[in-house]
Amino acid sequence: MNKDSKIYIAGHRGMVGSAILRRLEKNGCRNILVRTSKELDLRNQEEVANFFESEKPEYVFLAAAKVGGIHANNTYRGEFLYDNLMIQNNVIHQSYVHGVKKLMFLGSSCIYPKMAPQPLQEDYLLTGELEPTNEPYAIAKIAGIKMCDAYRSQYGCNFISVMPTNLYGPNDNYDLNNSHVLPALLRKFHEAKVNGDSEVVCWGTGTPMREFLHADDLADACFFLMQNYNEEGLVNIGTGTDVTIKELAETIKETVGFEGELVWDASKPDGTPRKLMNVDKLKSLGWEYSIDLCDGISSVYQSAF
């Protein structure tokens, strides 16, 4: 992949896709293909086939997906399974049909079993039951990993899979009903500060532990792996460190400057107790993260609010 290569980013307006776009532009890539969901419905087999036939991309970053937090995953179970399966099936298959040189499929750390040992190693995939609240999304992503490996095995395609940890950054989703925990907390604390509220109520007990990676670090890792990784199986992308949700909430409370009380609603679900990625494989390839969590949260808050 060089500066003149024809590169398609599926999902370029999302947090991940837009970060990859910024990273490619920073490298001087001049031939980047993008389409909005209105211009190209990736769930539509015929539209995707026609796009690949006419544009013939050489490299593909598959960052398009239907995503959301616990509430969205658990409420729209059918949509999360159908939409994600259709998106990835169409893009991966047409990449094979039209001779794409290399494709990167982006999944999620939720593919791992709910009670898997920590930290999560790549070979823990399919060794136990999934977290029920996001099982449809996880099953779709597992299918994408296996599809990439199957096309590599049968057709010789250089299709690779990466599994990011929990992400945050520019172009995140701040909708309180459908967002992930970090942006949801930023929105909650910001609105509470603006409204002069005396307290902020957070879901769960605050005890689950989560790892957070800035989207720009993810994009840098994706760019690195697109140049340096050409094997079957998946690669975890993360920091290798985690914090409790309570610690995260307190950091955000301080960053926003909210002076009221932090209250935990234990009647709400916690989700998976811990999701820390083992990133030894990624480190052995020569990449590590660079954006500190506190600094990253501060920069995101300043730009989004």
CATH of the domain at 130: 3.40.50.720
pLDDT digits (tens, 9 = 90+) for 171-181: 998 887 767 88
Report if residue 262 sits inside a domain. Answer: no
Report if residue 120 sits inside a domain. Answer: yes
Report if residue 80 sits inside a domain. Answer: yes
With 0-12 / 13-18 / 19 or more C-beta atoms within 10 angstroms meaning exposed / middle / buried, residue 36 is exposed
Cβ atoms 159, 144 nearer than 8 A? no
pLDDT digits (tens, 9 = 90+) for 153-190: 999 999 999 999 999 999 998 887 767 889 999 999 99
Give Dmax over CA atoms of the chain in angstroms: 60
Question: Which residue type does 261 have?
Answer: E
Report if residue 202 sits inside a domain. Answer: no
Which residues share a beta bridge with 199?
A: 261
pLDDT at 269 over 80: yes
pLDDT at 70 over 80: no
Q: Does the annotation list 175 as a binding residue?
A: no
Report if residue 17 sits inside a domain. Answer: yes
Residue with tokens 């300043």: 302
Cβ atoms 160, 97 nearer than 8 A? no
As a whole number of Å, the CA-based R_g of the chain is: 19
Q: Does the annotation list 93 as a binding residue?
A: no
Q: Does the annotation list 123 as a binding residue?
A: no
Tokens of 48: 């995707």
Cβ atoms 184, 69 nearer than 8 A? yes
Cβ atoms 180, 210 nearer than 8 A? no
- Distance between CA atoms of residues 9 and 257, nearest Å: 37
The range of the structural domain enclosing residue 103 comes to 7-171+211-240+276-292
Which residues share a beta bridge with 201?
A: 263
Q: Does the annotation list 165 as a binding residue?
A: yes
Report if residue 248 sits inside a domain. Answer: no
Cβ atoms 255, 190 nearer than 8 A? no
| pLDDT for position 252 | 98
Q: Is 7 helix (H, G, I), strand (E, B) or coil?
A: strand
Give the H/E segment covering residue 15: helix 15-26
pLDDT at 140 over 80: yes
| pLDDT for position 189 | 97
| pLDDT for position 228 | 97
Q: Does the annotation list 109 as a binding residue?
A: yes
- Distance between CA atoms of residues 277 and 2, nearest Å: 30
Q: Does the annotation list 56 as a binding residue?
A: no
Q: How many residues are listed for the chain in this entry?
A: 305
Report if residue 250 sits inside a domain. Answer: no
Q: What share of the chain is helix, strand, coil (3-state, %, to 5)?
A: 45, 15, 40
- Distance between CA atoms of residues 66 and 79, nearest Å: 8
pLDDT at 270 over 90: no
Q: Does the annotation list 152 as a binding residue?
A: no
| Domains held by the chain: number | 1
Q: Does the annotation list 270 as a binding residue?
A: yes
Q: How confident is the model at residue 226 (pLDDT cuts 50, 70, 90)?
A: very high
Q: Is 11 helix (H, G, I), strand (E, B) or coil?
A: coil
Q: Is 10 helix (H, G, I), strand (E, B) or coil?
A: strand
- Distance between CA atoms of residues 224 and 220, nearest Å: 6
| Model confidence pTM above 0.85 | yes
pLDDT digits (tens, 9 = 90+) for 117-139: 999 999 999 999 998 988 999 99
CB atoms within 10 A of CB 293: 21
pLDDT digits (tens, 9 = 90+) for 76-86: 899 999 999 99
Report if residue 77 sits inside a domain. Answer: yes
| pLDDT for position 62 | 98
Which of the residues are catalytic? 137
| pLDDT for position 274 | 82
Q: Does the annotation list 144 as a binding residue?
A: no
